[in-house]
Structure 1
């Protein structure tokens, strides 16, 4: 028998930046920011809240989180114990991989699913390669930042285990029992420049919830046409600036109706509506009920 199996040639580049293990005390936080690469976060111990866009995602021990490039997020350790984590920023110039990794703003894989995979083992091996003394530093409570130098063989091993880790995560994302959570939000394939512009538009919209600002005024503040402003924002967030602002106003209206005794007319004025009638009509369109009926009964 004379047989041969030939596989296609593979030429792909793995870029790894910001690869580190860390320990952060209770109350630690990191402000809202975004990266130009995919971010992988693995909670080794403790718990932490990741604020991604307008959502709060709680990570507990063993949970794994993938955050798409260009997505704004912030981190807060609101627990009473230290947060121990592994963090990796990476990019692969494989079009199929990029399409899958960029399909959603974020994907969370719960600890029970991750624990049944090779993810903990691969991260443990990266820990051995990168932070040979991390176990001792945890018990000592070391707070200093340590940079680890690697020789050529160790760098190759880190790349190999990073690829194995990403491969395992891709398998988990494709498994129906992996329970990966998806979030509605920014659409894939937004350029870094478009993401930066859209985030600045979001900041302006969020700062002007309590006003009657228009999309045209936002565009003028950004030195853009209204068409450009709406197009870039919708490309990144999947909704128009006007729809996004309406969501913000609805959330604020609900909060004011439930937590305060302000009259409907006062809430309408506070949120920048021209009249209580206009506000009531819009609120009914949003929720299907009048503002006064949304309030809890005393």
Structure 2
């Protein structure tokens, strides 16, 4: 059962560094390393995930929509979900490629990928060169017969997350040069989100407020040198929700983590989250989730036995 970190009382810490919370879900599909025959071809298809396609040896003809690309050794392609594409050999020559299909729920990461106007990154590009060692690391066949399947899966996930970190940095640099205004908005939204996360981590909640100014939006906007309305507009463009809703989601997530710890009373949890009393917390939690804190906790206790049945 999950628990949440409970910070010490104010003034007890001599030094402290708060790292960002990680609440990312990643799904990996159809990862494969394949060497194909001289007359190989894959018909037109599409899928609901992103695809990273990397040629390790030889060359392939990749057709994306109505555009064809000769993808040579070291060239990288990033295909968006729903994009029709097909592949075949060129001049009867075999080739080897590596492919990853993925989806991820990180809105900031997805917003950057969605802004990509580029499908292929040539071997000489900064993006392809930055990703090459990480792709080769994942694609390298290794004898894992002595490892448990869970260990292999965790190693793969760790390697792919590392790849995504490099991908984010490399594409960010590309995007900054191709569309500076759009990229600046993404970066600004990220800074706003980080400050909202800081508000949630400090347990400062004023959830009876009727305007975003009570949530710290005015202060955040002043720190960033923009107006509150511009702050709200940029954030909504990137995350598709208001800063107020984003903060509410953070506090709801934190509430659920604390409620999962049966050692803590609901009164204690309300105090930790900054509510003036348990009734205030209960009303807000029910407004967000549709059920009371006690009902949620009861369901958490029942679920393990139901799963065993």
TM-score between both structures, scaled by the size of structure 2: 0.48
TM-score, normalization by structure 1: 0.50
